[in-house]
Amino acid sequence: MLAAIAVTVLDAGSDVHAQTYPNRAIRMIAAFPTGGGSDIVTRVIAQKLAETMGQQVVVENRAGAAGNIGTEAVARAAPDGYTLGMGNSASLGINASLYKNLPYNPVTDFAPITQVASYTYVVVSRSAFPPKSFRELVAYAKDHPGKVNFASSGSTTKLAGALLKSMAGIEMTDIPFNGGGPAQTQLLGGHVDIMMAAALNLLLPHVKAGTLRPLAVTAARRSPELPDVPTIAESGIPGFDVSVWYGIVAPAGTPQEIVTRLSTQIVQILKLPDVRERIVSTGSTIVGSTPEQFAAVIASEVTKWAKVVRESGATAE
């Protein structure tokens, strides 16, 4: 009887907590710098969520260590619904295998709320690069092992390049850069041969001007902005699928009622015309998933990239 009463009291307390939530400001930690596409989307959602929930939602950027610093802060926060985090495919997927001593577990330390959006990379080459298509690139790389210079601009592109080399059976020389901007500058200057570029709004002017040539997109589906550019899977590498995504999580242990409410509210926010327009303008595709669907994505990505890291020998050192 005492056990039954205790459970009843706990359930009642959870219901009361959910009914009064939120009664103060909510903090949303973004694990990346200000000004980028993910930061823009985070702030748009925070503003709308504040309007919907009737409380201020404060965005706090904690960039560094490929998203690990901000993501750890979310994992260590009180599981009361007042700290949320915007993570991405690196901080909630790749880093679990890339970093030997990651201070959190992407699968067990969070309560997934919703996957917000995703975007694809485009494999682009300098205009004077001999291959004119992705199939020609693979053939060229096989004929010139190690001679193709691939510009990587972070852990995701580095591992996407490793996955490409493995699945295509080719060798390329990885030239690392600190960000997509410097990598694109070197590509435009003819100092590297190819790269995977993410920001379509920045890439398209160069494609239209003929200074960069799109060879393929990395996702399973073609990009609406580049409908004539095939996917890598369509170009002879079946099963290749690399998309970059970001989504909102809370600390593990956050009451399910609060998780469900937040997920429902944010998914509705993602359907608003002005929000959709703003997110699409960053080159992203809106997702808006359930907590269960997002949890499955995180678990699947951790497994997928663990295999790539293991086979490539890549580390964050």
Q: Is residue 7 over pLDDT 70?
A: no
What residues have CB less than 8 Å from 167, skipping those under 6 apart?
237, 239, 240
Mean pLDDT on 177-204: 87
Mean pLDDT on 72-80: 98
What range does the domain containing 196 cover? 122-217
Establish how many alpha carbons lie within 13 A of residue 290's alpha carbon, considering only the half-sphere containing its beta carbon: 4
Asked, for residue 234, whether it belongs to a domain, the answer is: no
- Higher pLDDT pick, 202 / 134: 134
Q: 139 and 103 in one domain? A: no
pTM value is 0.83
Q: 134 and 94 in one domain? A: no
Beta bridge partners of 249: 85, 112
Asked, for residue 237, whether it belongs to a domain, the answer is: no
Which of 217, 236, 266 is where one domain is finished?
A: 217
Asked, for residue 230, whether it belongs to a domain, the answer is: no
Going by their DSSP bridges, the two strands 83-88 and 194-197 should be labelled as: unpaired
Provide the number of structural domains found in the chain.
2
Q: 22 and 114 in one domain? A: yes
pLDDT per position as a tens digit, 265-274? 999 999 999 9
Q: 182 and 105 in one domain? A: no
Q: 286 and 212 in one domain? A: no
Asked, for residue 223, whether it belongs to a domain, the answer is: no
pLDDT at 117: 93
User: Residue 281 — pLDDT band, cuts 50, 70, 90?
Assistant: confident
Asked, for residue 100, whether it belongs to a domain, the answer is: yes
What residues have CB less than 8 Å from 101, skipping those under 6 apart?
none
